[in-house]
Chain A
Amino acid sequence: MLSKEEVKHILALSSLEADDEEFEVLQRRLSQMEEFVSQIKNADVDEDVSVEDAVDMNTLREDEPKESYPVEKILANAPKQKYGAFAVPLMMEDD
């Protein structure tokens, strides 16, 4: 069972929130999910994971600039915008 602190920490990392009622259900469900995948923890394996299918750097994209999208398209779905930029509430120093 995941502890309350662990669940709170995960909520914070994920930028999510839950009220007391939701929190209890969440704690239970997450614990079930964690248990489901916990077999991974106990598996014994020492395969080398790094370096699968590395691509030669000489085949990478050439450094040629292309036309950007018009700003209207960039902002088209913005919930709030001002002066050509995405707008959020004024941020305090340490927000």
Chain B
Amino acid sequence: MSEYETVIGLEVHAELKTKSKCFCSCVNEFGGEPNTHCCPVCVGLPGALPVINKRAVELTIKAGLCMGCDINDIAVFERKNYFYPDLAKAYQISQLVRPICLHGGVTLDSGKFIRLNRIHLEEDAGKLVHKNLAVGTLVDYNRGGVPLIEMVSEADMSSAAEAVEFMTKLRHNLIYANIAECKMQEGGMRADVNVSVRKKGETKLGTKVEMKNINSIKAVERSILYESARQIELLENGGTVKQETRRWDDLKGENYPMRSKENSQDYRYFPDPDILSIKIPRESVEKIRKEIPLLPAERKKKYIEEYNLSNYDAGVLLSEKAYADYFEQCVQLYNKPKGIANWIMSSVLTIIKDEEEKVIRISPKNLTAIIEMLDKKQISQQDSRTLFAKCWEEDIDAKATAEKMGMLSSLSSGDIEKVVDEVLAENPNACEDFKKTPERVLPFFIGQCMKKTKGKADSELVKKLIYEKLK
């Protein structure tokens, strides 16, 4: 096994977050009763003509900027012709020779740069639902015409893990920059996977096998592992790898050859005469660049270098845009990023990590208020936990509630000193023991003070006073 290496290329499709479809004004929305988001254009009625969506072009440019691509100053759209029931016009409007974005890429955590070949804009096809012999296959064009970006990588990845990381980073960038929602369960992101193997050290590429339309990152991983193993076994047994498209069955965890003409399609691409070339002025590109928020890679750098978070902690916070945004909102309100990070990870994330919908039910205002009160020793650890739980359940104000529940410490340092004096006076033997072994007796004294103050005493102050008095 180890004398072979795997070479992987991905073509990732993501549905763009526009309000209307790519070439008509039908709504771009998942679901709906069949054929209720349709019009003559997206159903391919005679006489209908495509009218391109400005936002789709803008979001494609934005995606290109996020991945460091060059943006072409003229973009051309081509027709990709083939017959299939989910393709209403019998051609897909896509881009071939002059896509909107070229080159660019993504840097993995290891520092390895995975190059992109291009990012282009195209339209999605409708959906086929295969029922049974009586009913047949049903065609629904709701998804037809939804704008997609296709991000094509070079064959730079050498393991399933790298492919997973690449696709995850792509996904995060798209979500962070508000380009696509990438809801995997709604088909918001899919990948075509190209896998080949070759002997280590060999520069020539092996024969590649393609698996299309894989719609989860885990399935991408499984398909790569399976296919590279399949090819290696084949070669080790003296066979040859056939260049083909194979269908990945994620439930069975295997792939098998496709009978269809998939392998010998001639798409007869030519520039779509219904769509003029699109000019992309430099100023428009710069305007779009300004729209891009700080992306995950840059945010991580900031969290580590400016906020002094650990690599691990930064990673956890950035694993979901919602967490990162929440974290940053908190830091805006109360500039203690490390403390806030700890609270989020230990309290917030532990609750929601197993939930379906990861909704953070405590406002940044409340969380930071609690942390601040705790830092200022206005409330105790115990109280802070109670308060947190209450704020999670109910829509209340943390500060006001702390006050109402009598949590706010009304003890002055003078009061605390009085209590310390009381405790010391009541426990003369302990005072003697303290002089010998302070670390062992200290907890007892602190405990007694806490009892007397119902937990409100500042343990640090207590400790200080005891040391002062018994020295």
Contacts and interface: CB of A to CB of B under 8 A. Distances in A.
Interface centre among B28, B40, B43, B51 (most CB of A within 10 A): B43
A6 to B, nearest CB: 12
Contacts of A60: 52-54, 57, 278
A84 B131 contact: no
A51 B57 contact: no
B136 interface: yes
A43 to B, nearest CB: 18
Interface stretch (B279-287, B405-413, B460-468): B279-287
Interface residues of A, number: 39
B180 to A, nearest CB: 14
Given A57-B57, A90-B131, A68 B76 contact: no
B396 interface: no
Given A83-B138, A85-B140, A90-B131, A57 B281 contact: yes
A65 B278 contact: no
A50 B277 contact: yes
B110 interface: no
A48 to B, nearest CB: 12
A69 B142 CA distance: 11
A51 B277 contact: yes
Interface in B13-48: 18-20, 25-28, 33-40, 43
Nearest to A75: B35
A4 B56 CA distance: 45
A12 B266 CA distance: 10
B1 interface: no
B20 to A, nearest CB: 4
Contact of A63 (B18, B259, B277): B18
Contacts of A83: 34, 135, 138
B18 to A, nearest CB: 5
Given A54-B279, A57-B278, A90-B136, A64 B54 contact: no
A56 to B, nearest CB: 5
Contact of B280 (A57, A62, A66, A82): A57
B251 interface: no
A90 B137 contact: yes
B27 A68 contact: yes
Contact of A94 (B130, B133, B260): B260
A94 B259 contact: yes
Given A54-B277, A62-B54, A85 B129 contact: yes
Contacts of A65: 19-20, 25-28
Contacts of A90: 130-133, 135-137
A57 B55 CA distance: 10
Interface in A65-95: 65-66, 68-71, 74-75, 80, 82-91, 93-95
Contacts of B20: 63-66
A63 B136 contact: no
Contacts, number: 142
Interface residues of B, number: 58
B27 A55 contact: no
Contacts of B135: 82-83, 87, 90
A39 interface: no
A38 interface: no
Interface string B138-162: 1111000000000000000000000
Contact of A82 (B55, B74, B136): B136
Contacts of B247: 93
Interface in B242-280: 247, 258-262, 266, 268, 276-280
Contacts of B137: 87-91
13 contacts: A53-B276, A57-B54, A60-B278, A63-B20, A65-B19, A65-B27, A71-B33, A80-B136, A85-B129, A86-B85, A87-B139, A88-B136, A90-B133
Given A55-B279, A87-B136, A93-B258, 17 more contacts: A57-B280, A57-B281, A58-B54, A60-B52, A62-B55, A64-B25, A65-B25, A66-B26, A70-B36, A71-B36, A74-B35, A82-B136, A84-B34, A88-B136, A90-B130, A90-B133, A94-B262
Interface of B: 18-20, 25-28, 33-40, 43, 51-58, 74, 76, 83, 85, 97-98, 128-133, 135-141, 247, 258-262, 266, 268, 276-281, 284
Interface of A: 12-13, 15, 50-58, 60-66, 68-71, 74-75, 80, 82-91, 93-95
- Shortest 9 CB-CB contacts between residues of A and residues of B: A63-B55, A94-B260, A85-B138, A60-B54, A66-B25, A54-B277, A94-B259, A65-B27, A86-B139
